[in-house]
Amino acid sequence: QVQLVESGGGLVQAGDSLRLSCAASGRTFGTYAMGWFRQAPGKEREFVAAIGWTGSSTYYASSVKERFTISRDNAKNMVYLQMNSLKPEDTAVYYCAASRSLGNTVVAAYAYWGQGTQVTVSS
């Protein structure tokens, strides 16, 4: 089992950057593919980015590609989401999640979730 805690959200202006962090507990962290999702008010939770067990494989939603970067540090049990050139439409609660399979972009593929961290981008 994996427990996940996100941090790093906040209120920023359009064009600014933020780095989200996800701290994972458990000795098996390195065996999970990790993902970031987000959910805006009144909308469904959507895929943002995913990373494989070693960090060599990454996947991005088209809306964030070239602006966001996912990374992980297995020695520290951490996953990160570097978000650059933020836009008002990036405003959402961002969730970290863990999956046993690689490259999944659907919510149902992820068994473990954090509580989320709010990101608000003002125009």
| Residue pLDDT, tens place only, 28-68 | 888 899 999 999 999 999 999 999 999 899 999 999 999 99
Q: Give the per-residue pLDDT at 24.
A: 96
Residue 115 has pLDDT above 90, yes or no: yes
From residue 89, how far is each of 14, 21, 22, 92, 119 by CA, in Å?
A: 10, 20, 22, 8, 10
pLDDT: which is higher, 27 or 8? 8
From residue 11, how far is each of 65, 72, 76 by CA, in Å?
A: 21, 24, 27
Contact 69, 85 (CB under 8 A): no
Classify residue 28 by its DSSP letter: T
Quick one: what percent of the chain has pLDDT higher than 90? 87
* Order of strands across the sheet that contains 18-25: 3-7, 18-25, 78-83, 68-73
